[in-house]
Chains A and B, each alone.
Chain A
């Protein structure tokens, strides 16, 4: 690095980070109050511009807000914030008028902007647009508007890691610092040795949030105690489970928390070089991280000799191309080295011999984001949160058939019932809960007996599931579990790196078997029926062998969707195999369609739309389906305006 030596430090930051007295000088205290949004001089408009917001139309909203301000010649500050967690309410638009609390409006698409802003500025808003208001002691609250932290969605959560997400401006390091950010890092540098930090983290009981649940402190200690002239820290942000977006939202909403966690972890293990491995598809997260890293460097928080402590820290971004297997730590390391992203056998573990042959710690985003909290509040505080063996909180990305979807952070030990019914508002359209899928594609599908299961590592493992990174897909009664298992097996067999036999061939065979039982029975080929049956008989054995012998975590957990669905929904499998019937009417090959003669008007819509010409009939007279030709696609069912087509 070229510019060694003392950097010109921002006086504000130095005053906050290196403060020795609790009392700040007045001008700085005022600046801090502004940064913390405890007061504002102009109206501030916040827009949820995370990926979820953008998908919901935040970009248009933002443009219209700008137009509005231009039209009315208003001077206001526009802040693009990350996702607050309630993705189903995006785009979210908040308004903070000087002296008043911040009020939040939900689902503000472009056409609603003028009405909502008019309402907000004139105290004349539509109540159904309002989500709630943020509590702030010094500010005047809006009348009749609920506080956000009292909404059921937020009330039952314990937002520690996500506390800043959707609240602060992710591209302004000063806001993070004003809210106490980077103080843990400076505290760690000034007060503790690396060894002591490892002890603190181990004492706190923090376990890896990426899936395995290994003690983070122990991992760090192994790397710290391995002799080497160079050590590495890798932050694994290669989040690739379908339906999981915790890391993305965290990086988009609060990137500096992650950087602070990385900085502390790197200091603890003695690594001067850290990598963030992030997938290229996470465009906004990537941009957010780039800005944040640049700012951290400018403020002297990374680089050579951080705050005269003699500690060097360089953080590099590595962009992966989104292979699922690259989330496995050895594959990830191979990939950073520039090799093919395939896992290698352990031992040696990366903490002993990892990247370029040096001790390497690979930690998940959420794990690292917990670290500043633990250093700030102390291990005992963290240890008090959660259950006996699982400490702290866990972030889940709740998706699927719940009323509300989004990012949820709950204390360990919370039950799935609380999570689904109290926080996420229960199942959509008053349907029944059927299953939940936890832990990503190689996680497990748990049935309703598991609703009262407390969320912690041990109880999940006992049920054959795993914590995983935090994807939580909720399924209702209209989901076919065989099809679900088939979907996940398809994902896994495609994403397998192909190196070891059980994973490459085993997952493919399992997918083929599941595929064959969800397909239309072919009566002219009895051999095929026999083969299918043989396969079904092998399915369980295959699942066990793949789990026992696979090289890496991907293969070892790959049969989980099959094993767990077999455990909870065995009768559904049997129905598919023996009766060739899908009770949820999802499996296309097993659906039979009939036209009710009384209802059919002979409009010929289905006749024209059928892709295989399986429908016959003339205008204004009832139509019929030739079952031998029908492939069960359901286009006729969807297109019939008279509900004349029924499924059996």
Chain B
């Protein structure tokens, strides 16, 4: 139902049931916010979005108050601006003055807010909190002194991920956000998905930096630093360089990385193809044996961590295949002949959990780590800027051989549902000897957090489910534990929408950006010829020459987790 209200002396239409903020934004009136998150119930904590409503003494938070017919609203009256300004000044009064050294310098919401509100002088000086940085987690770094307690990370962790690794702690001015018993973030129930980093307005949460490590590696004599680039990263960096969002920059980034000093730059997709083959083979084997269903994907390290923590009795359901990054590491470290000893592998991933994954004890195969450093998309952008590479004036190059050929199925891995689709295609071929028709599985592309499809291969009906976010995964787990039997393969990605929205992706991406990234990945699939992993010449060559067939003992040794680990 529509009605009109008066805002700043003008009539605008409002809908019953919406909040004042929604109404204002819809009508093109911008109100600054801090604790507000789209799609979450408002908490009204930050008081930045306050507006003046005639007849009310106090200022009304527009994010939580429903719009009503009688309202006459002023969004930028002197009283409102004074209040907003004072509240931001209060936040700044005990904020560490470290902007120049801050991870988020330039992309900090608090900084922008202070600038927009024209705060040019420190009028209040408060006692600063001396909190230590939390370096305990291998993936995420906490700096509580920069935290402004907007509570976005807490809400996200609690509601979207249903993990609840962090929560408020203490009260009054000594309140902070911490883990249980206020220990470090290395606790078992943080799965390093990094979604909290994406929503943090300041530099209180960010990934553990690997740039210094990479620079160190680059300067090691005799070292051959090999980078492999995730296709999702390639599709996500464009806007950071002022290019059209979603544009695939794989070639340009490869060129830039070579300029920076990497010995070779590969495409992670080649490893994804192997991941598809191995999983499809495993699934086929299980279908034949008719046991251990459903099979859970293992490409998302956050999900693997979660699964191991909360469903230890079901570990045989978890695919033992390594994640694509580790497959690549395994190939590069162990399959490169005599030079392998000098090979150092840097994964460029849209993910913070990979930083945790690379240092897991079971990932030390043979002599050393499979991956030596992981750069997130954000770090990649920093690295390119740091080394002064001008992307606009260099020519794109193809990834280096031998890992330059891939199927388009591998590129789907960046989107929730993509892994299931890619595996379904290959599995169908393995079971029937024919290609899946139509090859595009639209049920797995519907944009929901849960996507389900049943595929008939010969006489067997195979159920595929793709879920993203831990919350959704948990719901599905409850169904499975409750007796659901029609699912054969479950793909889980911990970040909403899949890796395109991963914890290592550029901060501040909106719905539109995400859609463009997805579109970019899907478009390649429509455009190119090799659309299934089993048709990739590179994969076929590998299996013919060395690994015999997917799931063979040699393949297991290379691409599966060691048997003895849990």
Contacts and interface: CB of A to CB of B under 8 A. Distances in A.
B173 A493 contact: yes
A505 B59 contact: no
Interface stretch (A174-182, A368-376, A423-431, A542-550): A542-550
A496 interface: yes
B333 to A, nearest CB: 48
B35 to A, nearest CB: 9
Contacts of A493: 172-173
Nearest to B176: A498
Contacts of B94: 505, 508
A508 B126 contact: yes
A112 interface: no
B172 A499 contact: no
A506 B86 CA distance: 9
A507 B83 CA distance: 15
B125 A534 contact: yes
Contacts of A509: 90, 93, 124, 126
A78 interface: no
Contacts of A401: none
B43 interface: yes
Interface string A511-539: 01000000000000000000100110110
A180 B196 CA distance: 61
Interface string A313-351: 000000000010100000000000000101011010000
Interface in B46-93: 46-48, 50, 57-59, 61, 64-66, 79, 82-83, 86-87, 90-91, 93
B253 to A, nearest CB: 41
A507 B57 CA distance: 20
A501 interface: yes
Nearest to B64: A345
B230 to A, nearest CB: 39
A567 to B, nearest CB: 17
A39 interface: no
B447 interface: no
Contacts of A128: none
A386 interface: no
B123 interface: yes
Contacts of B90: 501-502, 505-506, 509, 542
A545 B171 contact: no
A500 interface: yes
- Candidate in B82, B90, B149 with the most chain A CB atoms within 10 angstroms: B90
Contact of A551 (B45, B48, B83, B174): B45
A556 B86 CA distance: 15
Given A541-B86, A547-B58, A549-B83, A504 B43 contact: no
Nearest to A552: B44
Contact of A498 (B47, B64, B175): B175
Contact of A494 (B59, B66, B148, B172): B172
Contacts of A508: 94, 126-127, 172-173
Given A501-B91, A509-B93, A534-B124, A345 B65 contact: yes
Contacts of A548: 50, 57-59, 79, 83
A549 B168 contact: no
Interface in A555-576: 556
B151 to A, nearest CB: 8
B162 to A, nearest CB: 15
B312 interface: no
A344 B65 CA distance: 11
A529 to B, nearest CB: 12
Nearest to A513: B124
A508 B45 CA distance: 16
A502 B126 contact: no
A538 B90 CA distance: 11
A534 B136 CA distance: 40
B170 A345 contact: no
A625 B87 CA distance: 45
Interface string B27-54: 0000000000000001111111010000
A495 interface: yes
B357 to A, nearest CB: 33
B157 to A, nearest CB: 14
Contact of B149 (A504, A512, A545, A547): A504
Contact of A496 (B61, B125, B173): B173
A22 B157 CA distance: 66
Contacts of A494: 171-173
B58 A549 contact: yes
Contact of B82 (A347, A534, A537, A545): A545
Given A505-B94, A508-B126, A347 B65 contact: yes
A549 B80 CA distance: 9
A512 B128 CA distance: 12
Contact of A542 (B43, B66, B86, B125): B86
Contacts of B126: 505, 508-509, 512
B50 A344 contact: no
A123 B281 CA distance: 104
A497 B65 contact: no
A372 to B, nearest CB: 35
B58 A499 contact: no
A502 B124 contact: no
Nearest to A492: B172
Given A509-B124, A549-B58, A504 B64 contact: no
Contact of B172 (A496, A502, A545, A551): A496
A549 B87 contact: yes
A538 B91 contact: no
B87 A502 contact: yes
Given A345-B42, A345-B65, A534-B123, A545 B173 contact: no
Contacts of B127: 508, 512
Given A512-B127, A545-B86, A548-B58, A501 B171 contact: no
A500 B172 contact: no
Given A549-B50, A551-B44, A531 B64 contact: no
A528 to B, nearest CB: 9
A556 B58 CA distance: 8
Nearest to A325: B171
Given A538-B124, A550-B47, 6 more contacts: A325-B171, A493-B172, A507-B172, A508-B173, A545-B82, A548-B58
14 contacts: A325-B171, A344-B44, A345-B43, A345-B64, A494-B171, A494-B172, A494-B173, A497-B172, A498-B172, A502-B47, A509-B90, A545-B82, A545-B86, A549-B87
Interface of A: 323, 325, 340, 342, 344-345, 347, 493-502, 504-509, 512, 531, 534-535, 537-538, 541-542, 545, 547-551, 556
